[in-house]
Structure 1
Amino acid sequence: MSLTLENLPPELFRYILTYLSPEETSALAQTSHQMKRVTRDDKIWQQYFLTRYTYTVCKPQYSNEEYLSDSVLKLTKPPNDCTWQEYFIQRSFQDQHIRLLLNEIMSTRKNRRYTYTVCKPQYSNKEYLSDSVLKLTKPPNDCTWQEYFIQRSFQDQHIRLLLNEIMSTRKNRIYNAKLIVSTYGLLTIDVLKRYLPSFRNTSTSLSLDSRNLTREYYSLELTRLISREIGLQLLDEMENRTDMHTEGKALINGLFVVQCFHPYGIFLSLKRFHSIGKRLVDDPVFPSLTVNEKCQLILSTMKAENFCAANNGEGYYNLENSFLFSTFNGKPTIPLTLVSIFCALAEECGLIARPLSFPGEVMAQVDQSSISQNTSENLSPLIISVFDSKILSLDEMNNRLVNILDRPLTHPLPITPITEFVIRSARNMVNSITQGSTSLLNSYGLYAALAVLKILGDGPLPFTSSSMLNVLKEHFPMDLHFFQRLYSNLTIMNESLQQIQEQDLNPLPIEEKRRNNESCPKYYIGQIFQHLLYNYWGVICGWDLTCMASSLWQTNMGISNLTRGATQPFYHILADDFSQRYVAEDNIDTLAFASIENEEQKNLIVQKLCSADEIGKQFERVDMINGKFIPNIELRNEYPDDFV
C-alpha cells in the first residue's frame, strides 16, 4: 500500500517544516487544502515564534523572586487565548509598524524626547528584574504562535522603516523615537539588536566597509533610550508600591533599576546568580552546613566569582563602582553593591539576608531563626561585613561604629528599606562626580542619580538646572520628557525645553561651511590622521578656518607657540580614545595612515575608531580602499565641498 500525506504523522510534518521559513510555510499553505490543514499545526508556529523572537512583553514586571533581566523572556503559550499562528501574525503586523516608525525617526528629529507610558514595566518582589521581561509561555491575546509570529514580523518592519526615517532626515526624530518606545517598548530591541555589533554572531560579522555606522548609532541610541525609560518607570513603581521586600532578589533588583541608566543597562542579565546558587546547593555537603558556614561559603564563592572589594585607594570612588555592569565584568566594587550580591546569593541558597546601612558602612544581616531545627532556640541574626568577608558579633560591630553611633546597637537591628538603599547608591554617584571623576560614565551617572533623587528622594537636587540643560543637549537629546518633569516648576527651564521641542518639530537650516581659495583647509572631513605630538589616531569631523576656541583655552593649550598660531585652520576630531578634541592643522598628519603597509594594523586603527559611540552620528561607513570615513547626509550638508 502506498503512503499518502494523510498517512504521515503530524510529528514528521513538524520536522519537515522546521527546514522552511514561516514565509515559505505560509506559501506552502496556499498550494492545496491539504497543505493548508497541515501547516496550521500550532506546534510549528510556536517553534517559529520562539526561534525568531526574544522579547515577548512590552514591559517587565518588578519581582523579588526572579532576576529582572529574565522576566521578559518567558512565554509558554500565546497570550489572550489565541493560537500561536494568530499571535505570529499579530506580531508580524506590529513588526511592520515598528519599522515604519523607525524609518520616520531616522529621517527626522521630531519628538524623540517625550515620556513613554504604553509599555510600562512592573516591579516585582519575586523574580530578578532582568528576568521578568523575558517571560513568554504562550502567544498573547489568545492567538496562535503563527499569528503572533506574523504580528511581530509586521512590527519589525515598522521599526525598521522608522529607523530609516530617523537616519535620513533631521525632522521629527524625537516624535518618532517616542512613538517606537511607547508603542513597542522592549519588543523594539529584537529589531535593533541586529544592527548592534555586540549582538552579531562572530561567524557572520560584517566587514568594516559593509557596516552602516549611522544605523548602528541610532539603533544604540534607541536601545539606551528604552533602557532609561524602563528605569524611570520602575522608579515610579518603586515609589508607589507598599509591598517592597528587603531581602534577596529585591535588593539586587533595586540596583538593577539604577543599572538601566548605564550605557549597556538593560542587557545585563542576573541569571548568573541562579547558576552560582544551584552549584552551591547541589553540593552534597551543603545541607549539613550551619548558617555560619553557609555564609562563609557564599563569601568565598563571591571572591572566586570575582565579586571583589575595591581597595580604599584612589579608585574606590570611581563612578563605575556604582553600576552592576562593571562589577559583573570583574571590576572591584563598593560595599553597597557587594551586600546586594550577597543577599541575592543567600536567597538562592535558602537563606534570608537583608541590608544594614550606617554612615560609612553597609552590611548584611542573615536570619538564623527560620533555619534552626530547634524551635525553642532563639538564635540572633548573623552580621556580615561582606566588604571584609567577615562575620561580626554585635559587640564587634558596636566597636567598629563607636565613633558614629549615639548609643550601642541592640537586636533587632534596623533593616534598610530598598528605596533608601537605592537613594544611597545615587548619592554615591553624586559624590564620585563632585570629587572630580573624569569617567566617560559621568553623564550617565548624573542622569541616574537625578532620576533616583527626583522620584524616590525628598531633598533638593544636587546640580543646577542650567548645568543639567547642557547635559541634556549634549548627551541625551531624546530625553526631553524627563527634564520637563525634573524642572516642571521652573519657567526659564520650561522655555528652554520648549525651544528644544520646537526645533525638533522644525529644525533650523544647517549652516553650510564652504571652502574658499584664500584660507582653504588642507584636510577633509572623514580623513584618518595621527597627531604629530601625542601620536593618537583620529578622524576629522569638522573644521574652522581659524581657531574659534576661547582665549583661555588657547592660552592653556599653548596655541601661540604653534608656527601659525590661532590663524590656521582648526579641526574637530574624534580620537581613538573616544574623546572629541580640537586640533590645529600643524599637528595633523594624514600621510601616516596611508604609509602603513600592514593591512591588519590599518584595520585595527579603523576598528578602534568605529568602536566610538559617536562615530555613526557623523559617518555612514568606512572606505577602506581610500582610507577614510564617508560622512552621513547631515555632515555632507554642512560641509558640501568636502564630499565629492
Structure 2
Amino acid sequence: MANDTIIVLPGEIIVYILEDKRLSLADILHFSLACKSLYKIVNESNKLWKTTFFKRWPLLKEIYETKKLEHRIINWKEEVKVSVTSRTKLLCYLFSMSSKHHRKQDLTNSEFKDLDALFCPKEGSHPLAYYFLSDELDSLIKHPATTSDNDIIINSFSNLTHRYYGLKIIRYLKQTHLKDEWQKFISLPLKQQTLERGATFVAQWCQPEKNVSYHAISSILDNIAEQTKEFLRKQHPGHSIFSVPNERFNFWKNNIIDDNQWNVTETRQITDALCEVLFVKLKFYGNSKMYYWLEKSFIDQVLETGSGIPTTLAIVFESIARRLGVHCEPCNNYLILSFILLDITTGPGFEDTESFYIDVFNHGHFVTKESCPRVGGLSRCPIEKYNVHEAATAIEVVTRIANNLEVAARQHIQINDRTARLRSVLEFRCLIQPDANIILQLGRIYISQFMDLTELVKTLENMQQNLELISKGQANVILQTFQTLQRCQKNLQPEEEVKLKRRVPSVKYAIGLIMTHRIHGYFCVITGWDPRCMASTEWMNEMNVDELDQGANQPFYNILLDDGSCHYVAQENLVLSPNSQGINHHAIGRYFYKFSGAHYIPNEEKAKEYPEDERFCNELLVTYMQNRMAYNTT
C-alpha cells in the first residue's frame, strides 16, 4: 500500500516533484512507465517537459530566448523527442566516420554534405536542429565521460578517434551556420553592424570547438559599462547620464551612434572613468610580446584575460563607450592598429572642439595632433590627416583582424594543427572578401593534404561570372588559378586499398609505442613503419640517410611529436621512452582510440592495417618493464 502512495497525490504535486533538478530525463521516462495514471500525468504536462528540456540542455534556454521562441506555444515533449533524435543521428554519423575517412589527411566541406539534412532547415530539419547538434558536440568536448538519456554511449569522446572526427564535424557544422549568419550581418543597416558583433563572428569562426556566445560577450561589455557608470557616479554624481532612460541605453548598445550625447566636459568625464575602470581596475593591456598569438585577436579571450592587440582592445573600448553614449570611430588607415578616435566635434554646440585620440594599446592615453608621439620613427604625426579618411566599417575592421590572423597562423610558435588553422583563416578571408590569390593559397593547402578541390573550383566559377566587377589583371589571375586547380583535380588519384603490414624480424617496435629520439631527445608515438626506408631518393639525400650506421636498409617509422609535427625516422635513432606520457598532437585520434598510460591502443582501422602489432607491443612492454624492475632491484 505504501508503494502506491504517490498515485493519490494531486498531479500538480507529482509534477512539482519531478521538476527537481536532481532528476534526469531518463528518471522521468522510467517514472512514467510505472503505471497508466503516472504516464498520463507526465505526458500531459507541457510545463514538466519544458522544465526537463532546459534542465537537460541548459545552454539552449538562451537560444530559445534570443530567437523569441520562449513564449510561443511549443509542444515541449515533441521538442525533447526531436532533440534526442537529432543527437542520436549525429552520434551514428560520428561513429561511422573513421571507417570512411581514415585514409584521408583532412576533410573538405564537400565530404560533409550528407550531414546537412540533420541541421539545415532548407533540407527539412527542425528550425533549431543546428543548436541541438552543436550543443551536443560542445557538451561532449567539455564533458567526455557522461552518458546520455537515450542510452547512446556519449562517453565516446573519451574515445580519441571519435573526438578527432567530432572536432571536424563541429567545425563544419558551425562554419556552415556562420556563413548564413555572415550574410545576415552584412545585410543589416550599417548602423546595426557593430564592431563587437563582427569581432564575435571572427571568434566563433576560428574557435569552433568552443561555445562562443554573443550574448555572453555582450553581457560582459554591459557589466563593464555599469562599472564605469558606478565609478562616474562617485566622481560626478550630477552627470546627465544618470537621467537617461534604459530604452536609450539599449538603443546605444545595438546601434552605432552618429554623435556624442554629451557636451565636451561630460564626454571627457565618461572617457576618463572608462579608462580608469578598463585599464586600471580591470587591468586591460596591450601585449606586444604576444602580438601574433591567435588568442589576442579573439574578443572572448581578450575579455577573459584582459590582454589583446590594439584592434581588439579598440573594439572593446568602442563597444563600452557606445553603451555610455560616447561616439567613437576606428581610424580607416594603418592607425587602426594603434588608435581609435573619440570624435567629439559633433557634440551639440561644440563644432570647433578638437578631436581626441585614445591609444588603447598603452593604457588609454589621450593624444591630440599636437601631443601625438611620432610612431615607428615617422617624422610626421600619424594622425595628422585623419579627417580626410572615412571611419572604418565593421566589415573593414573584421577584414583587418582576418589579415592579422593569417600572419599569426603562419607563425612557427604554434606548430600543432597549424595547417588546419591557416586553412580556416584563409577560408574565412575567402568568405568575407573573395580573392584569387587567397583561393590559390587554399588550393595549395588542399593539394598538400590530398583534399577534394571541388568547392574551390566552384568558388572560382562563381567569380568568373562576375568578371565585369573585377579588374582585367585580377581576371587573368582567376583564370590561371582556375586552370591550375582543374589540372590538380584531375591528377588526384583514388585512395589505395589498405595493405596489411606483416611483421618481419628486423622491425623492433610497434605502432602505439611512446619513444624517445636518441639524438634530439623529443617524445613521440609510432603511427606506422616500413621494413626499409620508402622515401624518395631526393628526401634520403637531403636527410643524409646514407650516413646512418644502417643506412636506408633498416626499418623507418612514421611518428607524431608532442609539438604537433610528424617525421619519418630511422629505427637506430629511436628508443623506448622510460617515462611514458601522452602525446599532444592534433591527429592522435586519427590512429588511436585510447591511451593506456603506457602506450596508445590503435583504433579499428589502424589495427587492421597492422594486425600483429598490438600483441607484439604488449609483449614488448611486459619484457621492458620486467627488465627495468630487475635492473632497479640490483
The alignment's TM-score, normalised by the length of structure 2, stands at 0.72
Q: Trace 1:623-642 onto structure 2 (pairs within 5 A).
A: 623-624=596-597, 627-642=598-613
Task: Measure the CA separation in 1 of the matches of 2:64 and 2:70.
Answer: 14
Task: Measure the CA separation in 1 of the matches of 2:514 and 2:190.
Answer: 53
- Please state how far the C-alpha of 1:452 moved relative to its aligned partner: 4.3
Task: Measure the CA separation in 1 of the matches of 2:490 and 2:113.
Answer: 14
The residue that corresponds to 1:94 in the other structure is 86
CA 1:480/1:220 → structure 2, altered by over 3 Å: closer, same or farther? farther
Task: Measure the CA separation in 1 of the matches of 2:521 and 2:6.
Answer: 74
- Please state how far the C-alpha of 1:588 moved relative to its aligned partner: 1.1
Letter in 2 for 1:366: L
CA 1:531/1:40 → structure 2, altered by over 3 Å: closer, same or farther? same
| Candidates 507, 526, 541, aligned match of 2:527 | 541
The residue that corresponds to 1:469 in the other structure is 443
Letter in 1 for 2:555: P
Q: Percent identity?
A: 20
- Please state how far the C-alpha of 1:329 moved relative to its aligned partner: 5.9
- CA deviations on 1:413-439 (whole Å, 9 max, x unpaired) are 621111111222223334456787765
CA contact (8 A) 2:594 2:600 kept: yes
Task: Measure the CA separation in 2 of the matches of 1:403 and 1:233.
Answer: 46
The residue that corresponds to 2:587 in the other structure is 614
The residue that corresponds to 1:309 in the other structure is 286
CA 1:43/1:460 → structure 2, altered by over 3 Å: closer, same or farther? same
Q: Secondary structure at the match of 2:332?
A: strand
The residue that corresponds to 1:255 in the other structure is 199
| Candidates 232, 239, 245, aligned match of 2:191 | 245
CA contact (8 A) 1:398 1:409 kept: no
- Please state how far the C-alpha of 1:185 moved relative to its aligned partner: 2.6
Is the aligned partner of 1:186 residue 2:125? no
Q: Trace 1:308-387 onto structure 2 (pairs within 5 A).
A: 308-311=285-288, 315-318=290-293, 321-324=296-299, 327=302, 330=305, 332-362=307-337, 363-366=339-342, 368=344, 375-378=348-351, 381-387=355-361
Is the aligned partner of 1:285 residue 2:234? yes
CA 1:45/1:404 → structure 2, altered by over 3 Å: closer, same or farther? farther
Is the aligned partner of 1:426 residue 2:429? no
Is the aligned partner of 1:22 residue 2:22? no
CA 1:551/1:305 → structure 2, altered by over 3 Å: closer, same or farther? farther
Moved more, 86-95 or 322-331: 322-331
Greater helix content:
2
| Candidates 146, 165, 172, aligned match of 1:225 | 172
CA contact (8 A) 1:101 1:176 kept: no
CA contact (8 A) 1:217 1:614 kept: yes
CA 1:186/1:32 → structure 2, altered by over 3 Å: closer, same or farther? closer
Letter in 1 for 2:285: C
| Candidates 34, 43, 49, aligned match of 1:45 | 49
Q: Secondary structure at the match of 1:581?
A: strand
Task: Measure the CA separation in 2 of the matches of 1:509 and 1:35.
Answer: 53
Letter in 1 for 2:431: I
Q: Secondary structure at the match of 1:523?
A: coil
CA contact (8 A) 2:512 2:602 kept: yes
- Please state how far the C-alpha of 1:253 moved relative to its aligned partner: 2.2
CA RMSD of superposed structures (Å): 4.2
- CA deviations on 1:501-548 (whole Å, 9 max, x unpaired) are x95xxx54123333335xx32110111112222222211111122333
CA contact (8 A) 1:546 1:567 kept: yes
The residue that corresponds to 2:501 in the other structure is 513
Task: Measure the CA separation in 2 of the matches of 1:73 and 1:549.
Answer: 58
Q: Which has the higher contact order (CA 8 A, sep 6+)?
A: 1
Task: Measure the CA separation in 1 of the matches of 2:409 and 2:157.
Answer: 39
Letter in 1 for 2:430: K
Task: Measure the CA separation in 2 of the matches of 1:497 and 1:260.
Answer: 31
CA contact (8 A) 2:285 2:308 kept: yes
**Can you give the 5+ residue segments of structure 1 that lack an aligned partner in the other structure?**
58-69, 116-172, 597-601
Q: Secondary structure at the match of 1:384?
A: strand
Q: Secondary structure at the match of 2:385?
A: coil
Q: Secondary structure at the match of 1:566?
A: coil
- Please state how far the C-alpha of 1:77 moved relative to its aligned partner: 5.2
Task: Measure the CA separation in 1 of the matches of 2:303 and 2:340.
Answer: 20
Moved more, 386-395 or 266-275: 266-275
The residue that corresponds to 2:77 in the other structure is 85
| Candidates 560, 574, 583, aligned match of 1:574 | 560
Task: Measure the CA separation in 1 of the matches of 2:412 and 2:518.
Answer: 29
| Candidates 419, 441, 452, aligned match of 1:443 | 419
Task: Measure the CA separation in 1 of the matches of 2:543 and 2:299.
Answer: 37
Q: Which has the larger radius of gyration?
A: 2
The alignment's TM-score, normalised by the length of structure 1, stands at 0.71
CA 1:340/1:524 → structure 2, altered by over 3 Å: closer, same or farther? same
- Please state how far the C-alpha of 1:280 moved relative to its aligned partner: 3.1
- Please state how far the C-alpha of 1:570 moved relative to its aligned partner: 1.5
Is the aligned partner of 1:10 residue 2:2? no
Moved more, 422-431 or 284-293: 284-293
CA contact (8 A) 1:513 1:640 kept: yes
The residue that corresponds to 2:261 in the other structure is none
Q: Secondary structure at the match of 1:513?
A: coil
| Matched residues, number | 537
- Please state how far the C-alpha of 1:565 moved relative to its aligned partner: 2.6
CA contact (8 A) 2:374 2:380 kept: no
CA 1:196/1:398 → structure 2, altered by over 3 Å: closer, same or farther? closer
CA 1:5/1:320 → structure 2, altered by over 3 Å: closer, same or farther? closer
Task: Measure the CA separation in 1 of the matches of 2:157 and 2:208.
Answer: 24
Letter in 2 for 1:230: H
Task: Measure the CA separation in 1 of the matches of 2:198 and 2:449.
Answer: 25
- Please state how far the C-alpha of 1:274 moved relative to its aligned partner: 3.6
**Can you give the 5+ residue segments of structure 2 that lack an aligned partner in the other structure?**
147-152, 240-265, 465-481, 616-634
